[in-house]
Amino acid sequence: MSESRHTRVLIIGSGPAGYTAGVYASRAMLSPILVQGMEPGGQLTTTTEVENWPGDTEVQGPDLMVRMEAHAKAMGCDVVMDLITDLDLSQRPFTAKGDSGTTYTADAVILATGARAKWLGLPSEEKFKGFGVSACATCDGFFYRGQEIVVIGGGNTAVEEALFLTNFASKVTLIHRRNELRAEKILIDRLMKNPKITPLWDHTLEEVVGGENPLGVEAIRAKHVKTGEITEIPAKGVFIAIGHAPASELVADQLELHHGGYVKVKPGTTETSIPGVFAAGDLTDHVYRQAVTSAGMGCMAALDAERFLAAQED
């Protein structure tokens, strides 16, 4: 049955930004509702060890997010399993429609919808998605025990995924479009020391090749960026790790965006182009994109929302 719920602060997203906003908004006695979306806990649930969360030398990403959820709930945040499918920011109170049928109205909204994995857009990548092509090593790595795998990308995610996949694979080829990795030095050192990983520099993925019946990957064709020469590499799994794009589709035609889809905020704040709407985390940050910076922005968003609501009452 459809239901309507009003809240002072609606938080959309359950990554580090959303849960931290939940903790702060609850402690400000704003009784926030937090809608979790399709990925409760956000991107960190797709990884294993997190080594740069202050206070934990090493923590498993999914465990950290379970703890953040519990923390937000313990402070009084109403954490709801739902997906916002439509958001109307044209007038206050703002209105959000949930996939569950619930309509949420809110005096202030904190957007913390984060980012999603990018794909290359090749027809063969699309064809084999879920049948050998994946964007999540922790989700799918287990299926490739003793097999050869390729990883595409040169950032932290690609290097971490390549390292993680050596737990299962007989060989991992890391294909990068340049001859220099973007990843942190500590990760590059681990990569270079791992005997199971072979980097293939200056190459892009040209095509995923596989069988039809059953549908499955057999090899990939990689193209040299300068010479155009094609190299075929046997592989049962292809992991695409070429970065993430902000999940801003709910607000794309309502808020000012920049850098290809990131929600623009007033420098030093989380204020968007609409008063009462705040944005935090990977949704707005094209530079740092870390768990700790997202959590920091979640805190800022809750404090900004609190000040905004207090000013409305003056």
Point out the residues that are catalytic: 136, 139-140
> Across 225-306, where does the E strand assignment appear?
230-234, 237-240, 244-246, 257-258, 262-263, 277-279
Q: Looking at 65-73, 75-83, 150-158, 265-273, which segment touches ligand NAP (CB under 6 A)?
A: 150-158
CB 31 within 8 A of CB 106: no
> Are the CB atoms for 34 and 78 separated by under 8 Å?
yes
Residues 6+ apart with CB under 8 A from 150: 172, 173, 174, 175, 205, 220, 222, 233, 235, 237, 238, 239
* Minimum gap (Å) between residue 195 Cβ and ligand NAP: 22
**CB-CB neighbours of 213 under 10 Å:** 5
Specify the 3-state DSSP secondary structure of 40: coil
Considering the complex, state which of residue 198 and residue 290 has its C-beta at the smaller distance from ligand NAP.
Answer: 290
Residue 166, CB-side half-sphere exposure with 13 Å CA sphere: 17
Query: Which of residues 11, 17, 165, 255 is near ligand FAD by CB under 6 A?
Result: 17
Q: Which residue is nearest to ligand NAP (CB)?
A: 155
Calculated CA dihedral for residues 42, 46, 52, 58, nearest 10 degrees: 120
The span from the CA of 78 to the CA of 117, in Å, is 28
> Would you count residue 77 as binding ligand FAD (CB under 6 A)?
no
Is 31 an interacting residue with respect to ligand NAP (CB under 6 A)? no
Q: Residue 154 binds which one of ligand NAP, ligand FAD, none, with CB within 5 to 8 A depending on kind?
A: ligand NAP
Cβ proximity to ligand FAD: between 86 and 256 the closer is: 86
Residue type, 113: T
Residues 203-232 that bind ligand NAP (CB under 6 A): 204
- Minimum CB separation of residue 104 from ligand FAD in Å reads 10
Nearer to ligand NAP, 162 or 299 (CB): 162
Q: Which of residues 112-131 bind ligand FAD (CB under 6 A)?
A: 112-115
Q: Which of 294, 299, 302, 306 binds ligand FAD (CB under 6 A)?
A: 294
* Residue 5 near which of ligand NAP, ligand FAD, none (CB within 5-8 Å, type-dependent): none
What distances in angstroms separate CA 75 from CA 29, 68, 70, one per listed residue?
Answer: 9, 11, 9
Residue 13 contacts which entry, ligand NAP, ligand FAD, none (Cβ below 5-8 A, type-dependent): ligand FAD
Q: Are 208 and 237 in contact (CB under 8 A)?
A: no
Q: Which of 48, 95, 124, 156 binds ligand NAP (CB under 6 A)?
A: 156
Interaction between residue 153 and ligand NAP (CB under 6 A): yes
What whole-number distance in Å separates Cα of residue 118 and Cα of residue 127? 16
One-letter amino acid for residue 103 of the chain: T
Quick check: 246 binds ligand FAD (CB under 6 A)? no
**171 binds ligand NAP, rule: CB under 6 A:** no
Q: Which stretch binds ligand FAD (CB under 6 A): 35-43, 171-179, 213-221, 301-309?
A: 35-43
Residue 242 partner contact from ligand FAD, ligand NAP, none using kind-dependent CB cut-offs of 5 to 8 Å: ligand NAP
Residue by residue, DSSP assigns 169-223 as -SEEEEE-SSSS--S-HHHHHHHHH-TTEEEETTEEEEEEEEEETTEEEEEEEEE
Binds 18: which of ligand NAP, ligand FAD, none (CB < 5-8 Å by kind): ligand FAD
Taking CB under 6 A as the criterion, the residue among 26, 147, 157, 294 binding ligand NAP is 157
Partner residues linked to 205 by β-bridges: 222
Which one among 177, 190, 221, 224 touches ligand NAP, defined by CB under 6 A? Answer: 177
For residue 264, the 8-state DSSP code is P
Nearer to ligand FAD, 132 or 298 (CB): 298
